[in-house]
Amino acid sequence: MARTLERPPWRGSAGLALLWMSLVLSACTTLGPDYQEPGVEWLSGWQTDLYGQIGDRQHQSDVDLRFWWQLFDDPVLNGLIDTARRQNPSLRIAGLRILESRAVLGIAGSNLYPQVQQVSSAVAFANTRQRGGALPNSQDSFTSYQADFNVGWELDFWGRFQRGIESADAAFFASITNQQDAQVLLSAQVTDLYFAYRTTLQRITIARENAAVQKRSFEITERLYKSGQSSELDLQQAKTQYLATLSTVPALEVTLTQIRNALGALLARSPGDLPELTGVGGPLPVIEPVVVQEVPARLLMRRPDIRAAAWQAAAQSAQIGIAEADFYPAISLFGSVGWSGNTVSGSPNTGSIAVGPAVTWNVFDYGRISNNVRVQDARLQQSIEAFQNSVLQAAREIDDAAISVVKTREQQVFLDEALIAAQRSLELANTRYAEGYADFQRVLDAQRAQFSQAERALVNRGNQIGAVISFYKAIGGGWLEMPIEQMVPETERDTMQSRSDWGDLMTAPLPTNVDNPSSASESAP
């Protein structure tokens, strides 16, 4: 077990004997706290059925959380997400950060070996001339040679380097879970934008259909007005309603273009380059009730962003031990092999070997080390609070999405019935107006109600789909383990290899168990 050591008692007051005794007793100590994932006190008592959406397997539709969008049974959507997984810039950056953190881990691991392995050599030519004076003129020249090989190895007495590996290892695992979280977000964003596009298309269709109906009414009232059978008031009201409905179309077309461009950006496409959307349309899908089998707390703690927050806290925890190591002397072994010679006649060549231990110790630091330890500890506590907040926000997202799924489904029932009633009302109003039993205002009111109810029913159905998307995003669905070859395209890997020698870092398999930060140092690649 690693243990946290306070400022050494001998600093400034004890003698050398106490120092060496302490070295013997404390050799190979790993300073700083061993990380334990913080508990979430309220989570064990969080009892919720997600408003009736937790059921057993026999009542659950077979939905693979990794590919939850397939429940919509939409080949276009499936193709868009597959393309996004290959082309999305943010997902590629997340994959490149895994390579970066893997290289950083390699740097940290190299500190366990001799840190100085240095070869140096020099050749010098000297020429001396003497002219004038009482002595005869002369000229001398010689060449000198020198070569040295130096080795320096700071021993990891206090676990500084081991903690560095632990921190880099946790950061490496955090980069993997961050990439998985990016997959979750990407899947939800593509699905949400796709159905927002389809919803907007439907809104445009409804607006144009209603405008067509209102245009016919306007043309009828115009003929009646010209023949003296209708008032100008009816004419102007019909014209106003027709033009007002028609005016909603341009704004919806702007929204449609913006959604298409946003979707294209996720696929790394230029604006307008989305041939997959050609021919997309039709009614929005009717979603079956969402049912999950597992307890929400388990789903929540498996979310990639929660795992990433835990790994980030683990990485920071190790920084405390690194900072505390500065309290203690750095103990090193050094060695040097040298050779020197020159061309001066009678001058000997010289060889030298030096080996021994070395101790360096900042005896007076004026509180710098203590305050650095406090800085790292404060940052750890911040990371723990960030983890706790991530769990809390995740639970909120799950609960919010769950109630939205339930209530938008309930609302859709009422809106669909209201739309049927509005359509029937418009039929009756037209009939009564044609028969002379009602004025034209009743027709206008019925048209306005029918348009409003059709719009509300469609928007709510889109909101219901959005709630389902948010629900699967909230429980962390939509990611799968990906090898580096899929995260970073071959062309980019070839470009990087042509610039730098990446060795096997681009081909070595990634670890698969990234759930437990406490085992970081045991599972380092």
Alpha carbons 270 and 101: distance in angstroms, whole number: 31
Cβ atoms of residues 277 and 197 within 8 Å:
yes
Residue 315 lies in a domain: yes
For residue 4, CA distances in Å to 13, 153, 520 come to 22, 25, 19
pLDDT of 341? 82
Cβ atoms of residues 350 and 341 within 8 Å:
yes
Question: pLDDT tens track of the chain, all 525 residues?
Answer: 344 444 444 444 444 444 444 444 445 688 889 998 888 888 877 777 777 766 554 444 567 889 999 999 999 999 999 999 999 999 999 999 999 999 999 999 988 888 888 899 999 888 888 777 777 777 778 788 899 898 888 888 888 899 999 999 999 999 999 999 999 999 999 999 999 999 999 999 999 999 999 899 888 888 888 888 878 888 898 899 899 999 999 999 999 999 999 999 999 999 988 999 998 988 999 888 777 766 677 788 889 999 999 999 999 999 999 999 999 998 888 889 888 888 777 778 888 898 888 888 888 888 899 999 999 999 999 999 999 999 999 999 988 998 999 899 999 999 999 999 999 999 998 888 888 788 888 888 999 999 999 999 999 999 999 999 999 999 999 999 999 988 998 899 889 989 999 988 888 888 877 766 654 444 444
For residue 149, list its beta bridge partners.
119, 337
Cβ atoms of residues 177 and 524 within 8 Å:
no
Report the candidate in 461, 466, 424, 429 with the shortest Cα–Cα distance to residue 445.
429
Could you tell me which residues come within 8 angstroms of residue 163 by beta carbon, excluding any fewer than 6 positions away? Answer: 30, 31, 32, 318, 319, 321, 322, 325
Residue 454 lies in a domain: yes
Estimate to the nearest angstrom the gap between the alpha carbon of 314 and the chain centroid. Answer: 18
pLDDT of 522? 43
pLDDT of 293? 66
Residue 308 lies in a domain: yes
Residue 424 lies in a domain: yes
The count of domains in the chain is 1
**Cβ-count burial 96-131 (b if 16+ within 10 Å, e if not):** bbbbebbebbeebbebeebeeeeeeeeeeeeeeeee
Cβ atoms of residues 313 and 362 within 8 Å:
no
Residue 354 lies in a domain: no
> Residue 289's domain is classified under what CATH number?
1.20.1600.10
pLDDT of 44? 78
Instruction: Scan for tokens 């690649």, then name that residue.
Output: 525
Structural domain of 472: 42-113+165-327+379-522
Residue 21 lies in a domain: no
Residue 1 lies in a domain: no
Tokens of residue 275, six digits? 């041939």
Residue 30 lies in a domain: no
